[in-house]
Amino acid sequence: MRKLPIFTLGVEEEYQIIDPETRDLRSHMSKIVEGAKIFLKEQVKAEMHQSVVEVGTNICQNVADARKEVSFLRNKIVDLAAQQNLIVGASGTHPFSKWQDQPITDDPRYHHIINELQDTARSNLIFGLHVHVGIENREIAMQIMNQACYFLPHIYALSTNSPFWEGRFTGFKAYRAHIFAKFPRTGLPEYFDSVQSYDNYLETLVKTNCIDNPKKIWWDLRLHPFFSTIEFRICDMCLTINETMCIVALIQAVVAKLYKMHLMNTSFNIYRIALIRENKFRAARYGTDGMMIDFGQKKEVEYKALMLELLEFVDDVVDELGSRDEINYIHKILSDGTGADRQLKVYEETKDLKKVVDFITDEFTKGI
């Protein structure tokens, strides 16, 4: 059996910049981003709302490299925020901040989006984790993208970390995706039978002025239009680096396993997006505590049982990828709860959303 190629990684995280007194989101007036660019160059950028900072790793050869980079980025942003008397947190939504109070970054790109999408864009005060996995052959990457859609709800459930929105418990473990769903071209991706059909789709959207560039496809999973990567965009921003790296490792392992199956002239079943959408809703609503549909058996199964099956499915590639410790952290999430579960536990004990903010800021550098 041929050795697997190196599945390079890129990790993007979106951080909340918070006032330590009010615990509300706070504009950093680009000072954090400007300060970070001295050290990080293009690894840091402002987002649409001035209270958001996005960071991204360089191309990483493995999960261990990615952990070092994400650790460095989290620490650096904390240091720069402290110089402005601000703190940093990680959650898919802020527990009580209102989007109406958050200033928009003065940038032509964001002005264009606001002009086109209006309150849909202004209200998009959310924070996510994006993971790129490198694959040079775009045709193989397209096939893997089609197959990997099945696993998106399983991965998503582990990351659920946005139970509150504008001061209310939403009833969901992950509400972020429902906010983002107001945008066009979001959610689970379409099925494409070839790269040519995918490229034709992008070309049609650009030619008809639906989008001005192919990056405005904001699906949960996409074949990146400019990089040789598959980009997983479904996950909430994770509380801790251990959770982030666990999910990064699982995503890489799923891609590597599907690639290995391709080398063996086999493939994973491709299921209808309409069916996968049912599991995505369950992941958002219940996180790791609910039931999901096993489409092969056509019955409901406890999520945790399905996750154990997924771990068994990828087990033969994990050691070659060098990510056994990160993959094993899934068991801790299953036993201790996701970020959403732990936020809700703090709220149940204190009835104070400011204490929840304290929790997400305290957890930000835990494990580094």
Please provide the DSSP assignment of 292-333 as one string.
EEETTTTEEEEHHHHHHHHHHHHHHHHHHHT-HHHHHHHHHH
Going by the DSSP 8-state scheme, the letter that residue 287 receives in this structure is G
Say how far residue 316 (Cα) sits from the centre of its chain.
25
pLDDT for residue 15 is more than 70: yes
Is the residue at 208 inside a domain? yes
Residue 339 pLDDT class (50, 70, 90 cuts):
very high
Tokens of 180: 């983002």
Is the residue at 233 inside a domain? yes
The residues near 98 (Cβ < 8 Å, ≥ 6 apart) are 166, 167
Residue 30 pLDDT class (50, 70, 90 cuts):
confident
pLDDT for residue 108 is more than 90: no
Is the residue at 350 inside a domain? yes
Is the residue at 4 inside a domain? no
pLDDT for residue 353 is more than 90: yes
CA Rg value for the chain: 20
Distance between CA atoms of 311 and 324, rounded to whole angstroms?
11
Which of 95-99, 173-177, 214-218, 246-250 shows the lowest mean pLDDT across its residues? Answer: 214-218
Report the run of H or E that residue 234 belongs to, with start and end. Answer: strand 229-236
pLDDT for residue 75 is more than 80: yes
The residues near 122 (Cβ < 8 Å, ≥ 6 apart) are 99, 100, 104, 114
Which of 165-169, 224-228, 340-344, 346-350 shows the lowest mean pLDDT across its residues? Answer: 224-228
The number of helices, as runs of H, and strands, as runs of E, in the chain is 14, 13
Query: What pLDDT score was predicted for residue 2?
Result: 67
Task: Give the length of the chain.
Answer: 368
Question: Model confidence over 228-280: pLDDT tens digits?
Answer: 999 999 999 999 999 999 999 999 999 999 999 999 999 999 999 999 999 99
Query: What pLDDT score was predicted for residue 111?
Result: 87
User: Across all residues in the chain, what is the average pLDDT?
Assistant: 95
Query: What pLDDT score was predicted for residue 36?
Result: 77
Going by the DSSP 8-state scheme, the letter that residue 103 receives in this structure is P
pLDDT for residue 5 is more than 60: yes
Is the residue at 368 inside a domain? no
User: How many distinct structural domains can be found in the chain?
Assistant: 1
User: Beta partners for 52?
Assistant: 16
Query: What pLDDT score was predicted for residue 1?
Result: 55
The residues near 151 (Cβ < 8 Å, ≥ 6 apart) are 254, 310
Is the residue at 225 inside a domain? yes
Residue 60 pLDDT class (50, 70, 90 cuts):
very high
pLDDT above 90 covers a percentage of the chain that reads 86
Query: What pLDDT score was predicted for residue 34?
Result: 84
Is the residue at 2 inside a domain? no
What CATH code is carried by the domain that includes residue 250? 3.30.590.20
Is the residue at 158 inside a domain? yes
Going by the DSSP 8-state scheme, the letter that residue 238 receives in this structure is P
Question: Model confidence over 112-170: pLDDT tens digits?
Answer: 889 999 999 999 999 999 999 999 999 999 999 999 999 999 999 999 999 999 999 99
Average pLDDT of span 281-307: 96
pLDDT for residue 54 is more than 80: yes
132: containing domain: 9-362
Distance between CA atoms of 239 and 228, rounded to whole angstroms?
28
Instruction: Note whether 50 and 57 are within 8 A (CB).
Output: no
Query: What pLDDT score was predicted for residue 10?
Result: 98
Query: What pLDDT score was predicted for residue 33?
Result: 86
Query: What pLDDT score was predicted for residue 45?
Result: 85
In this structure, the number of other CB atoms found within 10 A of the CB of residue 183 comes to 15
